[in-house]
Every structure is written in C-alpha cells, then in structure tokens.
C-alpha cells in the first residue's frame, strides 16, 4: 500500500471540515482508491475460506470428537456406579428391616390378647395419652376401603389394649368420615374379638370435625343409668372408654381459612373488636374444632362421662405408616410438640413396594421409641 501524500491529506481534511461538500462522491472514491487493497474475485474468496477452514482443523486436530465422547462415557459410568451402590444399599436395608420385623413379629405377637399387648408395654416409662397415625387410602388391588377400615380397627384394638384412651387417624381424602357408622361397627367387632363382649369391651366413641359423633352409648340416659347403677353400681364406672378421632386434609388448611373468614366478618360487622383477635383466641377456636371436648360440646354433650377423661388437643406421638416422613396436609397446629416416628420401608415388601403395611410390631417400635425419647420442647 502506497504512503499517503500531503496533497491527499489536505484534500481529505478540507472535505471533512466542510461537512463533505468540498468533494463529490466520485472524487472522494478516486482519492481513497490508491490506498485500498486490490479487490478479490469469487474464486479467490472461496479458496481463502477453504484454506482458513483447513487451517482451523489442522490446529484443532481430533479433540472436538474425542473429548465429548470420553466425557459422556465418564458421566455414564459414574451415574451407573452411584445407582448400583445405592440400589444395593437400599435392597440390603429393606431385607434387614424385613428380617428384623419378622423376628419381632414372632417374639411379640399379640394373638388377639390384650394381656399380651399390655405385657409388651407395661415396662415402658410413659405411654402416649393421644396417639395419632397417618394412613393412606390403598388401591383396589390392595383392598381399598375395606383394608383401610380393617387397619383402623386393628389400631383401635391395639391402642385400647395398651392403655391409650385416644387415637386419631389421619387420612388425606377423608373417606373414613363418609363411612363413620360402618367404621364404628367394624371397630366394635374388633374390640369384641380382642376383649370379649360388653362389659369387657371398651365403650367406643367416634368423632370427626363437622360430623355428628357416634358411639356405643357413651352417654347413657338417666333412666338406664339409674337402673344399671342400682343393679351393678360399679359396671358403668369401671368400663374402659376409647375415643377415635378421624381427621383429613380439610381439617387443616380449610379450617384455618374458615376461621379467618369468620373472624374477619365478625370484625367488619363490629361483633368482635379487632384487638380481641389474639393467638390465644385462635388457638382456642382451632382446638374447639378438632379436639374431642369441642366436638362433644357441639354435639350437645356438655357433661363429661364418668371415668378417666383424657382430651389433649395435640397428639403425644404421631406414627407415619410410610416409607418416609410425609405429613400430607396434617393439621400443623396439632403436632407442634409431637414426637414423630416413621415406620419406613420396614413394613413394606422386600421387592421395593411403596405400600407400607400396618403391623403390630411397627406400632410397638413407635411406642418404644416414644418411651425413650428425650422431651426438650425446643430447649
């Protein structure tokens, strides 16, 4: 390229100073042409492009094809090893728990005898007064509603024999509330199979929020109570009482939403002062909705029956019959201080089935764990 002459520089600067009016476009092109590289033909352009591509390939070599291949194979081998190790670990753990459960089932089998169940728990330091269990509605292949109701009946019999006066059963869909009368009959039959016919069998009461309570005469009329006390003065007082509370997902979030709406409407209509809406009021209203005492008073039974009356709002122990801890919408204000025990995959099948069976040894392990737990209450 030739050097720029002083004459061309002065002409260029003069044109720039005048805003491009000193030279015409043709004169400007003629001025710059000697200093531009010679134009290339199309064939030369194609040759230069091919030479540049060949040069890049020579510089890179075979690395773009080999490195991604090795990296993908390495990732696949690592994934396979991790999956293999954890698969073997999970299967060994399932086999170990299944064998341990079978041994516990042989050593501690109830034989439908309350005496044997009481013997298994009599040496424990404490027994929960309110036991709660989380169950899942099984498919039709696993028994469906009938299997679920049978599990509830078995849990009621085991809890009553262990001296637990209150059992709350949480099932997310709430299908048990629809069949409360059928469930009551099945539980009564199970209690008779374990304890014998009344008066040996406990008095059963079934409760559910927003549903009328049912029971096997938990509150006798004055005439019958007077006649029975005249003939057998201690029969009514000595009969064991057992309460069954049915909970579902609608008793959690929906209850809190309804309570919030009610308090807001009462505040807007000046029936309630906003300053009176405190945490104690909300706690009292929630407990009145989902506790046994609140359900009794709402049904018109304000007088407490004779005998031991236990009505803690929060369960002492929550047993999750599942492979992992999943509360599944359980009312959160009821388990603030509750001990949670997950059965895990010990009740499942060795083949890796997700369904966890409700078995006596699982309940027994939960009671053992609760008796040995250290209650710190957040401290």
Q: What is the DSSP letter of 351?
A: T
Same domain, 67 and 130: no
Whether 212 and 289 map to the same domain: the answer is yes
| Whether 81 and 156 share a structural domain | no
Domain range spanning residue 66?
A: 40-107
Same domain, 19 and 144: no
pLDDT of residue 144: 84
* Domain endpoint, select from 107, 136, 165: 107
Residues 242 and 315 in one domain: yes
Q: Tell me if 228 is assigned to some domain.
A: no
Q: Is residue 324 part of a domain?
A: yes
Domain boundary pick from 58, 76, 107: 107
CA 279 to chain centre: 26
Residue 97 and residue 130 in one domain: no
Task: Say if CB 169 and CB 247 are below 8 A apart.
Answer: yes
Task: Determine the pLDDT at residue 312.
Answer: 58
3-state SS class at 215: strand
Instruction: Please indicate, yes or no, whether residues 283 and 327 belong to a single structural domain of this protein.
Output: yes
**Secondary structure (3-state) at 132:** strand
Query: Are 157 and 118 contained in the same domain?
Result: yes
Residue 24 and residue 60 share a domain: no
Q: Number of folded domains in the chain?
A: 3
Q: Is residue 354 part of a domain?
A: yes
Residue 223 belongs to a domain: no
- Cα separation, 343 vs 362, in Å, equals 6
pLDDT of residue 127: 92
Q: Which residues of the chain have pLDDT under 70?
A: 1-2, 40-64, 213, 215-238, 289-313, 345-355, 377-379
> Is 166 within the bounds of a domain?
yes
Domain termination site, one of 107, 134, 154: 107
Task: Specify whether the backbone of 15 is left (phi greater than 0), alpha (psi in -120 to 50) or beta.
Answer: alpha
Could you tell me if 201 and 276 lie in one domain? yes
**pLDDT, position 370:** 92
Per-residue pLDDT tens for 200-216? 889 999 988 877 767 66
What residues have CB less than 8 Å from 103, skipping those under 6 apart? none
| Residue at 2 is within a domain | no
CB 11 within 8 A of CB 4: no
CATH code of residue 162: 3.40.1180.10
C-alpha–C-alpha distance, residues 290 and 255, integer Å:
9
17 and 56, same structural domain?
no
Residue 227 lies in a domain: no
In a domain? residue 63:
yes
The verdict on 300 and 337 lying in the same domain is yes
């Amino acid at each position: 390229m030739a050097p720029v002459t002083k004459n061309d520089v002065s002409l260029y600067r003069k044109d720039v100073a005048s805003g491009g009016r000193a030279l015409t476009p043709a004169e400007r092109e003629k001025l710059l042409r000697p200093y531009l590289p010679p134009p290339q033909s199309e064939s030369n352009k194609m040759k230069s492009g091919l030479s540049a591509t060949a040069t890049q390939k020579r510089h890179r070599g075979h690395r773009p094809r080999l490195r991604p291949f090795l990296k993908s194979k390495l990732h696949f081998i690592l994934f396979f090893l991790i999956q293999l190790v954890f698969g073997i670990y999970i299967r060994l753990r399932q086999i170990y728990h299944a064998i341990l459960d079978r041994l516990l089932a042989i050593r501690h089998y109830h034989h439908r005898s309350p005496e044997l169940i009481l013997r298994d728990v009599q040496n424990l330091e404490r027994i929960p007064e309110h036991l709660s269990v989380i169950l899942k509605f099984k498919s039709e292949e696993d028994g469906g509603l009938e299997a679920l109701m049978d599990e509830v009946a078995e849990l009621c019999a085991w809890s009553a024999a262990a001296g637990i006066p209150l059992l709350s059963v949480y099932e997310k869909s709430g299908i048990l509330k629809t069949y409360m009368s059928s469930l009551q009959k099945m539980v009564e039959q199970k209690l008779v199979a374990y304890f014998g016919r009344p008066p040996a069998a406990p008095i059963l009461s079934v409760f559910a929020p927003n549903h009328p309570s049912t029971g096997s005469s938990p509150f006798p009329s004055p005439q019958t109570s007077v006649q029975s006390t005249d003939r057998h003065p201690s029969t009514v007082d000595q009969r064991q009482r057992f309460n069954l509370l049915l909970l579902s997902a609608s008793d959690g979030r929906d209850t809190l939403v309804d309570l919030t709406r009610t308090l807001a409407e009462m505040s807007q209509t000046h029936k309630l002062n906003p300053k009176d809406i405190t945490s104690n009021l909300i706690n009292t209203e929630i407990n009145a909705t989902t506790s046994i005492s609140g359900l009794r008073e709402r049904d018109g039974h304000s007088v407490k029956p004779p005998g031991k009356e236990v009505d803690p709002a929060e369960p002492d122990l929550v047993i999750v019959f599942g492979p992992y801890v999943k509360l599944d919408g359980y009312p959160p204000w009821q388990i603030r201080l509750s001990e949670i025990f997950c059965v895990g995959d010990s009740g499942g099948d060795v083949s890796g089935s997700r369904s966890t069976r409700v078995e006596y040894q699982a309940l027994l392990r939960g009671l053992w764990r609760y008796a040995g737990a250290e209650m710190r209450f957040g401290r």
